Chain A
Amino acid sequence: MDSLLILVPAFNEAAAIGRVVGEIHTVVPGVPVVVVDDCSKDATASIARAAGARVLRLPFHLGLGGAVQAGYRLAYELGFQYVIRVDGDGQHDPADIARVYEALRTNPCEMVIGSRFEDRAVSHSSFLRGLGIRFFRLVLRPILGKPVRDPTSGFVGVNRAALQVFSTSFPLEYPEIEALVVLQRKRFRFVEIPCLMRERMGGRSSITAVKSLYYIFHVLMGVFVNVLKYEGRRKRK
């Protein structure tokens, strides 16, 4: 797999990270894996290293968006052509990496989203999250000009053109939805492919029921701001 990097953002995922890295090495042997340790308080970094991953350790906690952007910056500087993000909590099945990679290489797009709702793939999603996903589908449809089935999926592959954009402009909190609008500003394209989402292997989700309201407001603001920054029509190269 030419010039592909697997990026695994992780915060206090000592319970799951070893297995995640191990699974990735099993399904895509020889592909470099970088775990972005977002200043974890547990043994996430050492377990990831022991499992065979390289570790990018952030000296301060930046949140998911900051950690993913750090990984994108590193990948861009190191010259990688493709980056696939696999979350460190084990929800993303590494068996789908090859399909995401193939979709990136063969489709005329800058981003591939592994969707838990395409082709009715089995989904492990709470009721509140499912409600939020339906809400953001409605919000994003007119902005993106096409439907997106799983806007909150973090199982995402990007090519170098998107890496260049995300290296300098990437939403810091709850990045998945805003990232789509950032791409839209640049007139980039995305496709979705069905992927399996699993239960977390350990730890807890950072989005609780109470934080869900803040999440919705924050993401709506972020989407609105990115729409305001729209750079207008550009001729495609």
Chain B
Amino acid sequence: MQGLLNFLTGLSVLLMVMVLVSVRRSHTRVEHSVSWLGAALALLVLARWRGLLDWLASTLGIGSPPMALLTLVGCVFLLVLFRLSTIISALKDANIALTQRIAILEFQIESVHEEGKSKN
């Protein structure tokens, strides 16, 4: 059990560092890093606060604290992934609108050129 908690502690710290480095290098936007930092912090708190973990395990009716930890971590990351899905969907909508806009603008430019040629 302690080995697992130490591993998850290291993992959460590593995740935080990766997110901060990514934000610093502008590979990740600040508003998107909040979800990941929140998830990493939740993982760190649960890994280091044994009392809280035991209480949550008994409240949820999960006999094994490690199982409770993995369940809770899974739930946290599920929420993060769902949020990312909504962001990706919004980006896709914007991409489609831009693609159509570009095509229409090019069509209109072509029309203007053709009108200019026929007048000359």
**Which residues on the B side are within 8 Å of A59 (C-beta)?**
99, 102-103
Contacts of B18 in A (CB 8 A): none
Q: Would you call B107 and A54 a contact (CB within 8 A)? A: yes
Say whether B96 contacts A73, CB under 8 Å: no
CB distance from A222 to the nearest CB of B (A): 14
CB neighbours (8 Å) of A186 from chain B are none
Cβ of B107: which chain A residues have Cβ within 8 Å of it? 54-57, 74
Supplied contacts A69-B100, A77-B104, A172-B96, 13 more A-B pairs, CB within 8 Å: A54-B111, A56-B103, A57-B106, A57-B107, A58-B100, A58-B103, A59-B99, A59-B102, A60-B95, A62-B99, A62-B100, A70-B100, A70-B104
| Residue ranges of B at the interface with A (Cβ–Cβ < 8 Å) | 95-96, 99-100, 102-104, 106-107, 110-111
Chain B residues lying within 8 Å of A157, measured Cβ to Cβ, are: none
A74 contacts B104, C-beta separation under 8 Å: yes
A-B contact pairs, 10 of them (CB 8 A): A54-B107, A54-B110, A54-B111, A55-B107, A56-B107, A66-B96, A69-B96, A70-B104, A73-B104, A74-B104
Most buried by A among B104, B110, B111: B104
Contact B99 A57 (CB under 8 A): no
Binding site for B on A (CB under 8 A): 36, 54-60, 62, 66, 69-70, 73-74, 77, 172
Contact A73 B100 (CB under 8 A): yes
Please, how many angstroms separate the alpha-carbon atoms of A70 and B101 in the complex? 8
Are A66 and B100 interface neighbours, CB within 8 A?
yes
Cα of A57 to Cα of B107 in the assembled complex, Å? 8
Nearest first, the 3 closest Cβ-Cβ pairs linking A and B are A70-B100, A58-B103, A60-B99
Q: Which residue of A lies closest to B102 (CB)?
A: A59
Tell me, rounded to whole Å, the shortest Cβ–Cβ distance linking A237 to chain B: 28
Question: Considering the chains assembled together, what is the distance between the CA atoms of A137 and B100 in angstroms?
Answer: 32
The CB with the most chain A CB atoms within 10 A, among B100, B106, B107, is that of B100
A56 to B104, CA, bound (A): 7
The distance in angstroms between the C-alpha atoms of A62 and B97, with both chains bound, is: 10
- Point out the residues of chain B lying under 8 angstroms from A56, CB to CB: 103-104, 107
> Which residues of the other chain, B, contact A57 by a CB distance below 8 angstroms?
103, 106-107
Closest to B110 in A: A54
Rounded to whole angstroms, the CA-CA distance of A56 and B103 in the bound complex is: 6
Bound CA span A86–B24, Å: 51
B116 to chain A, nearest CB (A): 16
Contacts of B104 in A (CB 8 A): 56, 70, 73-74, 77
* Distance in angstroms between the alpha carbons of A161 and B99 in the assembled complex: 24
Chain B residue nearest in CB terms to A63: B96
- Chain B residues near A69 (CB, 8 Å)? 96, 100
With CB as the reference atom, state the residue of chain A lying closest to B101: A73
Chain A residues closer than 8 Å to B96, beta-carbon distance: 62, 66, 69, 172
Give A128 Cβ to nearest chain B Cβ, in Å.
29
Residue of B nearest to A167 (CB): B100
Q: Once the chains are docked, how many angstroms separate the CA of A147 from the CA of B12?
A: 57
- Which residue of A has the minimal Cβ distance to B107? A56
Give the complex CA separation of A198 and B102 in angstroms.
34
B19 to nearest A CB, angstroms?
A: 30
Closest A residue to B92 by CB, please name it: A172
Please, how many angstroms separate the alpha-carbon atoms of A57 and B95 in the complex?
Answer: 15
